Structure 1
Amino acid sequence: MPLSPEHRAEIEAARATPRQTLRAVSEGMEAHLYRAHEVLDHGFVRVIDYMGDDAAIVQAARVSYGAGTKHVSNDEGLIRYLMRHWHSTPFEMCEVKLHVKLPVFVARQWIRHRTANVNEYSARYSILDREFYIPEPAQLAAQSKVNNQGRGAVLEGAEAARVLAMLKSDAAQMYDHYEEMLSQEDQQGLARELARMNLPMNIYTQWYWKTDLHNLFHFLRLRADAHAQYEIRVYAEAIARVVADWVPLAHAAFEDYRMGGTALSAKGVAVLKRRLAGEAVGYEQSGMSKGEWREFEAVWGA
């Protein structure tokens, strides 16, 4: 279970004491504050704090004194224009701080998104909990034969059971040794900062992660994509649902132009123009590489 009854009680106590404020408030985001959205077997995402809303984006773009305009349609049109033309600074006026509990190997992917402020649970100071990510059977898959960084067929039967048993036994044994190595009252042992080095990559860690909306959209564009690794994608999808409630106009524009849209190279534009003019253009006439042509066909057809 990601949260203990004690943790849930702390969250509900925090939510039970709202305070009056003059700052911009997103009613959609207020519903998410402090609540834990469970991810994987022991993970979660929680909103700790946020700044700004859709109106803050508009206000910054117009450098106005009020909260957007009197007409939501005007604000929506401006936000879509900003997204369509790849403006960034107005979206940077909104920020969010998340509390995330995640496996270490997921954290190592996540931290590559460097434009953020991060503070991680310290295994030098504290002892890590005995919690490991163990995949559901549907996520146990072999290496893809066509994608060097993806999965192929799902394991079945005895092979799936063999791999799952190793994952569980290895994690348990490594944690047992971790505990046995730690300095305790009856033995000198190792310092926590050394004993942790034997722990597996599927053990859970936690951090506070603060970023602005522009960089969060970049994170979501890559990690909520169908091609992203499942274990980080489910975190991105949970965050995307929160963002949709926080800044619905900006999120709708992001979904339309970034997640649902596609970019074309100059060669791609030329091929489309030639096709619209009635010319039959294939790979040999496109001037593209094989990889580019496969991606082009996946969107525009053969």
Structure 2
Amino acid sequence: MSLTPDQQAEIDALRSTPSQTLRVVAPGAEKHLYSAVPVLDHGFVRVIDYMGDDAAICQAARVSYGKGTKSVQNDEGLIRYLMRHWHSTPFEMCELKLHVKLPVFVARQWIRHRTANVNEYSARYSILDREFYIPAPENVAAQSVVNNQGRGDTLEGEAAARVLELLKADSTRAYDHYQEMIDESGLGLARELARMNLPANIYTQWYWKVDLHNLFHFLRLRADAHAQYEIRVYAEALCKIVADWVPFAYRAFEDCRLGAVTMSAQMVTCLQRMLKGEAVDEENSGMSKREWREFQGMLGN
């Protein structure tokens, strides 16, 4: 993990001078404040601020003030009801602000979730560090033959070694040329132009603030086993943070979203026929080949 000395000094200062507050605090979130969680080879995620907790979700759902006479058990039951029935607005009462360091190509996937506030490190004003994501050998894989946007089998031997050699060499050469172009005593090119020569595996940083409803949507897609590894590991790090911050809401999310499946009408009909003892196969299912494969995966076949 690559925190700069200034960032580490800021973290140390903030953690050594806690502030008093009248607002409700979530102990699980407090322990993550300003602590950087390493991700990939140079990346990290750290919590800068948060708002709300499990009780805030229930308060918003009941449109009342304070905890009233409701028990903790009732709160958890209410949250599970809201999650099961896709009631989103109570979860929007909680927010999380993060500082994330990530490769540019991961950031371009991440930014497609257009439901957050983002402020990214500017390469127009600042010089990017010489830090590139180079995958571990076990994450160097061939193109999938069944999924045009995914990985297939892991590359091994000379092929894997050559890929890593090319990545390292190209990254180094691109950054050397970047430095040469912006050198004021040399070419003196504007930083906003020189940055276009940098590869997509260079690291960037941003502050990302999102409400819990939209964060759950992000995690449902990016913590999924089918998500690209390089963004999935960020989502998995966030899952651990959210589980500590809002444990009731996260358990409901884990059960009703991460661990659940969504079936089409044809899938439900086929399942009903199977339960009645009928023989159902791809030909008489009424599904496409891909949908049938997904249905079989849901059934564990």
Q: TM-score if structure 1 supplies the norm length? A: 0.96
What are structure 2's unaligned runs of at least 5 residues? none
Distance in 2 separating the partners of 1:301 and 1:187: 62
Larger deviation, residues 282-291 vs 231-240:
282-291
Compared CA separation, residues 117 and 68, structure 1 to 2 (3 A) = farther
SS at match of 1:218: helix
Q: Return the alpha-carbon distance in structure 2 between the equivalents of residues 190 and 6 of structure 1.
A: 27
Given that 1:56 and 1:68 are in contact with CA atoms closer than 8 Å, whether structure 2 keeps it comes out as no
Per the alignment, in what secondary structure is the counterpart of residue 65 of structure 1? Answer: coil
1:1-302 mapped onto 2 (5 Å cutoff): 1-67=1-67, 69-184=69-184, 186-301=185-300
Secondary structure of the corresponding residue to residue 180 of structure 1: helix
TM-score normalized by structure 2? 0.97
CA distance, structure 2, for counterparts of residue 272 and residue 54 of structure 1:
36
Mapped contact 1:220–1:236 kept (Cα < 8 A): yes
- Contact kept, 8 Å, 1:217 with 1:254, in 2: the verdict is yes
AA in 2 matched with 1:175: Y
Equivalent pair of 1:56/1:67 in contact (CA under 8 Å): no
In 2, the alpha carbon distance for the partners of 1:145 and 1:291 equals 13
Deviation of the 1:23 alpha carbon: 1.2
What is the distance in 2 between the residues matched to 1:208 and 1:275? 50
SS of residue in 1 equivalent to 2:209: strand
Is 2:53–2:246's contact at 8 Å kept on the other side of the alignment?
Answer: yes
Name the SS of the counterpart of 1:232 in structure 2. helix
Displacement of 1:170 in angstroms is: 0.6
Secondary structure of residue in 2 paired with 1:205: strand
Q: Please give the per-residue CA displacement for 1:39-88, whole angstroms capped at 9, x wherever unaligned.
A: 00100001001100000000000011103754111001000000000110
Q: Determine the C-alpha separation between the residues in 2 that align with 1:68 and 1:213.
A: 23
Q: Is the 8 A contact 1:15 1:34 kept in 2?
A: yes
Q: Which runs of 5+ in 1 are unaligned?
A: none
Q: Distance in 2 between matches of 1:68 and 1:235?
A: 37
Q: What's the Cα RMSD here?
A: 1.3
Shift of 1:188: 4.8
Identity %, equivalent residues? 75
